[in-house]
């Protein structure tokens, strides 16, 4: 079963180097550079793709490591929606993490049509609730809300994903090691069980 892998790099926050890094791991990566929606909300377009095979959507700023192919090829059935959890965050506003989705397009077209029909409402909804900060946010909250209406939300193992910063201190690593749902997250190198990393700024 073929798996198409998509990402979007819209706006000027992320340079071409992010796209090139992902393409080193996924040569057939399909990148959306311009879209009808605002910044990361353009990931909603991938819920309306054609074809009968499953689709993977990745954030442009994630890093695939170790045996990352296990994530891309993780089996799902029609009616299931696969994502990952942010175990490293105290408060995320929703259960899933928007950095990784896998689904069958026929299952998700209703998500695209709902957002397109009420785009202005949903772009502001989770910001006005105080769940996410503005000015552009709430895409993963919207996706989770819509997925739970019709689909079975599944997750890859927590030990497969993690957070990293560019220059982690000993204190930062000790903290994330305590939170990691395995023996350790980082001891001289990242745990080989980890397959996908979300690099973020700050502590």
pLDDT tens across 63-117, in order?
A: 999 999 999 999 999 999 999 999 998 655 789 999 999 999 999 999 999 999 9
pLDDT interval class at 22 (50, 70, 90): very high
The string of pLDDT tens digits covering residues 170-188 is 999 999 999 999 999 999 9
The string of pLDDT tens digits covering residues 26-68 is 999 999 998 889 899 999 999 999 988 999 999 999 999 999 9
- Rounded-to-integer distance, Cα 193 and Cα 89, Å: 19
* For the chain, percent of residues with pLDDT exceeding 90: 79
* Residue 203 pLDDT greater than 50, yes or no: no
């Amino acid at each position: 079963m073929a798996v198409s892998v998509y990402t979007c790099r819209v706006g000027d926050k992320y340079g071409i180097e992010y796209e090139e890094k992902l393409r080193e791991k996924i040569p057939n990566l399909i990148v959306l550079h311009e879209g009808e929606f605002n910044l990361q909300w353009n990931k909603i377009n991938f819920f309306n793709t054609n074809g009968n095979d499953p689709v993977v959507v990745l954030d442009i700023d994630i890093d695939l490591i170790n045996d990352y192919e296990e994530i891309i090829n993780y089996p799902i059935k029609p009616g299931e929606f696969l994502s990952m959890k942010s175990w490293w965050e105290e408060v995320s506003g929703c259960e899933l993490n928007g950095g990784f989705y896998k689904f069958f397009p026929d299952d998700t077209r209703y998500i695209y049509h709902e957002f397109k029909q009420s785009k202005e409402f949903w772009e502001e909804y989770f910001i006005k609730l105080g769940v996410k900060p503005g000015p552009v946010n709430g895409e993963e909250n919207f996706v989770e809300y819509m997925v739970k209406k019709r689909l079975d939300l599944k997750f890859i193992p927590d030990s497969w994903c993690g957070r990293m910063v560019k220059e982690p201190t000993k204190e930062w690593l000790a903290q994330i090691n305590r939170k990691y749902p395995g023996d350790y997250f980082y001891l001289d190198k990242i745990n080989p069980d980890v397959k996908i990393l979300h690099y973020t700024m700050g502590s």
